[in-house]
Chain A
Amino acid sequence: MDASQELPDKELLSRHAQGDEQAFAVLVRRHRERLWAVAIRMMGDSEEASDALQDAFLSAFRAADRFRGESQVTTWLHRIVVNACHDRLRRRKVRPATPTEDETLDVISNERLSRSGGGHDHASQTEARLDVHAALDLLPLDQRMALTLVDMLGYRVDEAAEILEVASGTVKSRCARGRAKLLPSLAHLRNPQAPRDVTSGRGGANPS
């Protein structure tokens, strides 16, 4: 009776496409945690990640009959989630008038330096998240998606390439450009294991 729990993704997807009313839910449960991890890191905000994930699963729900089995179902689902995030990030990007990148990076960097004296672990974690996503917000979307998949989530370059439907070399160069751009705003965080008093900022790089 519980056989459905072990059915392969492709079988579930095709049963769903044929009208089975349970198959898709099984698929969602199987992958939602992982895809949430993607969405939350792409969006940096739970509410937006939730919206993106809903968009994505509904797209997948409707597009199931167009799945041709050329890639893994997981890859296909990732692609849909990444696209849903991309759409939302693009809209978000259009919205506010963004200052020039260098200016903003400096501002963020300084703000952080002045704020980061606190000793609470949780607070500094939150800070780190805000910092990272504030910095990511300034990247071109292509670079951001590549970096999110490869650096944040640890996907191999070839996996990211398949999800993003670009060549592996393209993923690498997007990551490299993105890292270079992030350097001014994130270098101070590069030793998160360092002592809690980070008031010394980026200068104190002798953690051992």
Chain B
Amino acid sequence: MTSHPDVEALAFFAEDLLDPDEERSVAAHTETCATCATTLDELSGITRVLAEAPAPALPQDVADLLDSRITEALGERPASASPAEAPAAGPDGPVTAEPGTPADDSLAPVVPIAARRRRFGLPHLMAVAAATVFVVGGGAAIVNGVMGGQQESGVASPLMDEETEPEAAPDTAQSYSAEPVASGTVYTEEGLGAQAAEVLAAEGAEQQEEGVGTQAQEQLPDGAQECVTRFEEANGVRVTLVDDALFDSGDGAERAWVLFTQDTDGTGVVVLDPRLCAQGDVHEGVLAEKPL
């Protein structure tokens, strides 16, 4: 009979890692050696001990930290394209991190933190952008045309219902999305009303003819949804259309978000500076506005 194999040899034996000769001799030995049989048993116990070592679940503060680090990283990332043509969406539609929607995560519950992120993450998300024009209302008939087209195109939203109760709480306002367009218009303060009507008309016609406007973007510019939501909350209006365009205030055209809004008094158009909006003040960010 051979001497006791060392613990490592036994561990290798347990994993079938020994070469055939060694394996035979260890097998023979352990059959008659209680000590080594016990050691083998203890070795398999190690796996169990390791498997059962307790570990805390992902703490919420770590989850939040991850989110804010990612948001920071996004803010530091160089803009990937020129602002005017940047926000083209993929064919499958926009990628949005909807508040509270759990990822398809069978592994563990995902805690919704999107509400917080919307507030804190905004400045970073929007720092990249320059300025965008939100058209706030504008020709109710045309807007209805736009929305009707949207429904036909299969991206139906609860907007039609909500139009009957425009005072709906801000939260419900998030259940639909403003229609994004990129008309390429260079808005000016003087021409705002006419320009906005033109864009609306074009958009409305397009929607009705084709179901989906050719120039319609599938996704709001990055950060715009937050901006829209905030604007809606601050002003009690509904934004129906967002034109990612340019605004010339007299010293050169800059990127702007033109919001078309709608409330009980009718429709209007508001030009926002995305950078100012990003800093959290939608009132400061208003470059121009006009009822339609």
| Among B61-69, B183-191, B195-203, B238-246, the stretch in contact with A | B61-69
Instruction: Give CA–CA (A3, B73) in the complex, Å.
Output: 24
B46 and A24 contacting across the interface, CB-CB below 8 Å: no
* Count of A-B residue pairs with CB < 8 Å: 187
Contact of B46 among A3, A12, A22, A179 (CB under 8 A): A179
Q: A interface, how many residues as a size bin?
A: 35 or more
CB distance A151 to B50 under 8 Å? yes
B86 in the interface (beta carbon within 8 A)? yes
Contact: B42 with A169, CB < 8 Å?
A: no
Asked whether A30 and B104 contact (CB < 8 A) given A36-B58, A176-B12, the answer is: yes
Chain B interface, number of residues (Cβ within 8 angstroms) = 66
- Interface: A173 (CB within 8 A): yes
Main secondary structure on chain A at its contact with chain B? helix
CA distance A58 to B71 in the complex (A): 10
Q: Is the CB of A132 within 8 A of B53?
A: yes
A77, chain B: closest CB distance, angstroms: 13
Query: Complex: how many Å from CA A126 to CA B54?
Result: 8
Residues of chain A within 8 A (CB-CB) of B8 are 176-177, 180
A53 touches B66 (CB 8 A): yes
Chain A residues numbered 158-187 whose CB sits less than 8 Å from any CB in chain B:
169, 172-173, 175-177, 179-180, 182-183, 186-187
Q: In whole angstroms, how far apart are the Cα atoms of A146 and B139 in the complex?
A: 66
A128 lies within 8 A of B53 (CB): yes
Contact, CB under 8 Å: A4 / B125: no
Q: Could you tell me the distance between the alpha carbons of A169 and B48 in the complex, rounded to whole angstroms?
A: 21
A58 contact set on B, CB distance < 8 A: 69-70, 73
Q: Which residues of B contact A22 (CB under 8 A)?
A: 94-97, 222
CA distance A128 to B55 in the complex (A): 10
B46 touches A151 (CB 8 A): yes
Chain B residues with Cβ below 8 Å from A102 are: none
Q: Is B262 an interface residue (CB 8 A)?
A: no
B52 interface contact, C-beta 8 A:
yes
Are A179 and B47 in contact (CB-based, < 8 A)?
A: yes
Write the chain A residue with the least CB distance to B68: A54
A-B pairs with lowest CB-CB distance, top 3: A190-B45, A19-B80, A33-B108
B interface residue numbers (CB < 8 A to A): 6-8, 10-12, 14-15, 17, 39, 42-43, 45-59, 62-63, 65-67, 69-71, 73-74, 77, 79-81, 86, 90, 92-98, 101-105, 107-110, 117, 125, 128, 155, 177, 222-223
* 18 additional contacts (CB under 8 A) given A21-B222, A176-B15: A2-B98, A3-B92, A4-B94, A19-B81, A21-B125, A22-B96, A29-B103, A30-B103, A34-B108, A37-B58, A41-B53, A49-B62, A54-B69, A129-B54, A129-B55, A182-B46, A186-B46, A192-B52
